[in-house]
Amino acid sequence: MLEERKKKILQAIVDEYINTAEPVSSGVIEKKYRLGCSSATIRNEMVELEKTGYLEKPHTSSGRVPSAKGYRFYVDELIKEDDISLQEIKYIQSKLETKVNEIEELTKIATSTLSEVTHYTSVSIGPKANFQNIEEVKFVLLGTRMLMAVILTDTGIVKETIIKFDEDITEEQVNTLNIIFNNKLKGKPLAEIDKPIEEYIFSEMNYSLNVIKPIMEQLDRVINEDSKLYLEGANKSFELPEFKSLEVAKNFINLIDTQEVMRDLLNTGFAKDINVYIGDENDNDQLKDFSIITFKHRYQNKDLGTIGIIGPKRMDYSKVISVMKYISKKLNGK
Amino acid sequence: MLEERKKKILQAIVDEYINTAEPVSSGVIEKKYRLGCSSATIRNEMVELEKTGYLEKPHTSSGRVPSAKGYRFYVDELIKEDDISLQEIKYIQSKLETKVNEIEELTKIATSTLSEVTHYTSVSIGPKANFQNIEEVKFVLLGTRMLMAVILTDTGIVKETIIKFDEDITEEQVNTLNIIFNNKLKGKPLAEIDKPIEEYIFSEMNYSLNVIKPIMEQLDRVINEDSKLYLEGANKSFELPEFKSLEVAKNFINLIDTQEVMRDLLNTGFAKDINVYIGDENDNDQLKDFSIITFKHRYQNKDLGTIGIIGPKRMDYSKVISVMKYISKKLNGK
DNA sequence: TTTAGCACTCTTCCTTTTTGATTGCTAAAC
DNA sequence: GTTTAGCAATCAAAAAGGAAGAGTGCTAAA
């Protein structure tokens, strides 16, 4: 759909702009990228690329800047594969080798490593709890009126919650709870901890609602609660030239501070391994100046959360995508 | 040490500056604050206040701005008591009434309420684990090679950690662990989970080091790990005029992103109920543009963490301190 | 189709001017 | 002795003007 030379020129412009953050002129392309034609020819092509929407001009007599469409084409067609150095590979390897006992911890390490290698702000979120299946539920008595419920899911993720009561709980009651929950729920999706089990305990056992209610409330909460958003390297973004604009900086802070938009983005659309959102492609005005790239943290095809990068539209897509692919592969094989 | 009129003028200047963020002129003081003397007299007094270090001038022909010393005097001597409205009180009450099962949750609610009422960025941190005493330790088997250790402390705080093994663990072993740890450690400070108990289990029981080592490692980790820093309303700071300066904004982001300085500040010096750090009083250059106000989250005199506000030196000290006093009182009585 | 050449455009940077707020000082008034 | 009116001096901030330079679009020739 785009002639070879136009592709080359577009690629040169995007590469150059990603490096310098300055509008790119025909002269620079001619001298630096040696495409075998003069600046005038490049200018002519640039006019076409602008007409078809791949490039933009900040003002009449300035160089060109990639549009969202330009970035999109770049990401889909022109990206450099394996834009990752041996050093970076080694660094990532060493980081991911850290022994951890909790998956959340591993996600954090991957997230911070991603930020360190790419120099962008990274963000991650745990998997939606209610898609997971229950492996085991255990209740532990703490003191006399406090219970901890521990849920182990088939993804290896452990959720726990504390439940407080107005009356004393006996060890015996706890034992029965453990038996009931495990018999009834093993292998079922988390979402099934719900009314049926509540009614069962109430009718079949001799438990008062004072005991059942708090338990069900807390289990419900822990299953449905949003998993924690983890952010790393927010300060890195502030070193970038686009953050000289107070407007942009403020939008960024609002974005990462309110978290809702982040959550939405991290929880949607995983058609591909790596998902790239450029600017306000998914028309949210808050995102117009930013791009977001995400991937699923998977282990043996089980969903363990989402990890992403948020940065300016002028992002080093090749580098970020390459690093993500590598980390993703490593995590899955771990 | 400062004549009555000088105090009044200083107070007027600080109040005015806190409101407007503009250097305060003698004319404004004369007209708005009606101290019964002319602007010329106020000017004379301002010269004195500048000489003695309470005021500063951005440049020769500008109005005055409070110095760190000026703010300090204001905070120590001139602050408005109970600068909190009925509405605010009601709002705080309603927020703190939320039923929670975990102390950490309550701290979070208090922290976000503080930010909402004061419109500044707030921050909190849990208590240092190793000062707390052990009430109960429980081990729960999850699957066959995973244990969860749950520690209940005398502050009511519950810590838990997951331990993974290379060999199967039996229910019996878990039971013995529970008995040993509770007999040996009940009432002792968390810091005592250490070598002695490790040796005891190793020599007295027939447990292999493969079992003991991972347990001790994880307990050690959970006891010594830094408690989580919780931040709320970072975007609120960015609405303030001082954050128009990129320099200031960047310093702020670095400060809250690296967390170390925050941790230090939240963990030190609690001579008073409310602690005010103005600018670089505790000579850390990173803090030169900011003030930090903290208080201990206490319940029945047990330390449950620290909650604070971070904002520009030009902070509404009266409001923040009043709100903090109220929240602190409420938390302690809860 | 490509390219050299050139006028035109528009930002950026620098300098100069103007404006206006505020001070410090002096001398008179209280 | 203290307070105040009056006023020149100061300086930042805003406005205005001008020069430089980078980059384009267009034209006409290659």
Q: What is the mean pLDDT of chain B?
A: 91
Of A135, A235, A249, the CB nearest to B254: A235
Condensed to tens digits (0 to 9), the pLDDT of residues A273-283 reads 899 999 988 78
Q: What is the pLDDT of residues B219-247, one digit of tens each?
A: 988 888 888 899 999 999 999 999 998 88
Bigger pLDDT: A301 or A76? A76
Question: From the CA of A248, how many Å to the C1' of D24?
Answer: 28
Residue A241: the pLDDT is 94
Mean pLDDT of B311-334: 95
Whose tokens are 């319940």? That residue is B299
Q: How far is CA A41 from CA A27, A48, A64, A66, in A?
A: 11, 11, 15, 18
Q: Read off the amino acid at residue A181.
A: F
Query: Percent of chain A, pLDDT > 70?
Result: 99
B158, two tokens: 């519950």
From the CA of A314 to the C1' of D21: give the distance in Å.
Answer: 26
* Exposure b/e, A233-250, CB count within 10 A at least 16 = b: bbbbbbebebbeeeebbb
Per-residue model confidence as pLDDT tens digits over A226-253: 888 999 999 999 999 999 998 899 999 9
What's the rounded mean pLDDT across residues A306-317?
97
Is some CB atom of chain A closer than 8 A to the CB atom of B134? no
B297/B109 Cα distance (integer angstroms): 12
> Which residue in A has a C-alpha nearest to residue B178's C-alpha?
A140
Domains of chain B, each with CATH number or no CATH: 4-78 (1.10.10.10), 86-127+228-333 (3.30.450.40), 130-224 (3.30.390.60)
**Three-state secondary structure of chain A:** CCCHHHHHHHHHHHHHHHHHCCCECHHHHHHHHCCCCCHHHHHHHHHHHHHCCCEECCCCCCCEEECHHHHHHHHHHHCCCCCCCHHHHHHHHHHHCCCCCCHHHHHHHHHHHHHHHHCCEEEEECCCHHHCEEEEEEEEEECCCEEEEEEEECCCCEEEEEEECCCCCCHHHHHHHHHHHHHHHCCCEHHHCCHHHHHHHHHHCCCCHHHHHHHHHHHHHHHHCCCCEEEECHHHHCCCHHHHCHHHHHHHHHHHHHCHHHHHHHHCCCCCCEEEEECCCCCCHHHCCEEEEEEEEEECCEEEEEEEEEEECCCCHHHHHHHHHHHHHHHHHC
Residue B186 in contact with partner chain A when CB distance is under 8 A: no
Instruction: Please report which confidence band the pLDDT of residue B314 belongs to, taking 50, 70 and 90 as the band edges.
Output: very high
Segment among A30-44, A83-97, A277-291, B107-121 with least mean pLDDT: A277-291
Q: Are A260 and A284 in contact (CB under 8 A)?
A: no
In this prediction, residue B51 has a pLDDT band, given cuts at 50, 70 and 90, of very high
The predicted-structure confidence for B115-149, as pLDDT tens digits, reads as follows 999 999 999 999 887 778 899 999 999 999 999 99
* pLDDT one-digit tens code per residue, A144-183: 999 999 999 988 899 999 999 999 999 999 998 999 888 8
pLDDT at B258 over 70: yes
Mean pLDDT, residues B31-35 taken together: 93
What local confidence, expressed as pLDDT, does residue B202 receive? 73
H helix count then E strand count, chain B:
13, 10
The tens digit of pLDDT for each residue in A182-204 reads 888 888 888 877 777 777 777 77
Contact B238 A244 (CB under 8 A): no
Ranges A9-18, A132-141, A239-248, B191-200, most confident: A9-18
- Footprint on protein of nucleic strand C, Cβ below 7 A: A 36-41, 44, 58-62; B 22-28, 39-40, 43, 46-47, 50, 57, 60-64
Our measurement of CA B313 to C1' D5, in angstroms, reads: 36
Helix boundaries (H) for chain B: 4-20, 26-33, 39-51, 68-73, 86-96, 103-118, 171-185, 195-204, 209-224, 234-237, 246-258, 260-267, 317-333
Mean pLDDT over each residue of chain A, to the nearest integer? 92
What pLDDT does A334 receive?
60
DSSP-derived letter for residue B64 is B
Q: Which long-range contacts (CB under 8 A, 24 or more apart) does B146-152 make?
A: B146/A152, B147/B174, B147/B215, B148/A138, B148/A150, B148/A158, B148/A160, B149/B215, B149/B218, B149/B219, B149/B222, B150/A140, B150/A142, B150/A148, B151/B190, B151/B219, B151/B222, B152/A142, B152/A143, B152/A146
**What's chain B's length in residues?**
334
Give pLDDT, residue B334.
Answer: 61
What's the half-sphere exposure (Cβ side, CA atoms, 13 Å) at A25? Answer: 7
Q: Is the per-residue pLDDT at B42 higher than 90?
A: yes
Q: Could you say which of B142, B218, B233 has the minimum Cβ distance to residue A152? A: B142
Q: Give the alpha-carbon dihedral of B268, B271, B274, B276, to 10 degrees.
A: -60
Query: How many Å lie between the alpha carbon of A257 and the closest alpha carbon of chain B?
Result: 6
- Partner B contacted by A161 (CB < 8 A): yes
Residue A227 is predicted with a pLDDT of 85
- For residue A287, pLDDT over 80 is answered with yes
Smallest Cα distance from A146 to chain B, Å: 9
Cα distance from B240 to chain A (closest Cα, Å)?
11
- Euclidean distance between CA atoms A173 and A75, whole angstroms: 59
User: Which residue from A minimizes the CA distance to B162?
Assistant: A101
Helix (H, G, I), strand (E, B) or coil at B36: coil
Cα dihedral B131, B136, B142, B147, rounded to 10, equals 50
Q: Look at residue B165 and tell me whether its pLDDT is greater than 70.
A: yes
- Taking alpha carbons only, the member of A296, A268, A294 closest to residue A282 is A268
pTM for this predicted structure: 0.93
Which nucleotides in chain D lie closer than 7 A to a protein CB?
A: 3-6, 9-12, 21-27
Helix axis angle, A103-118 to A86-96, nearest 10°: 160
pLDDT band at B49 (very low <50, low <70, confident <90, very high): very high
How many Cβ atoms from other residues are within 10 Å of residue B322's Cβ?
22
Dihedrals phi, psi of A132, to nearest 5 degrees: -85, 160
Provide the pLDDT for residue B301: 82
Question: Do B244 and A244 make contact, defined as CB atoms within 8 angstroms?
Answer: no
Q: How far apart are CA A243 and CA B15, in angstroms?
A: 33
Burial class (CB in 10 A: 0-12, 13-18, 19+), A92: buried
B52-80 residue pLDDT tens = 999 999 999 999 999 999 999 999 999 99
Residue among B99, B101, B258 with most chain A CBs within 10 A, to mutate: B101
The β-bridge partners of B306 are: B125, B296
Q: Does B215 touch chain A (CB under 8 A)?
A: no
**Nearest one of A203, A108, A101 to A158, comparing CA atoms:** A101
Facing A158 at nearest CB: one of B162, B235, B244:
B162
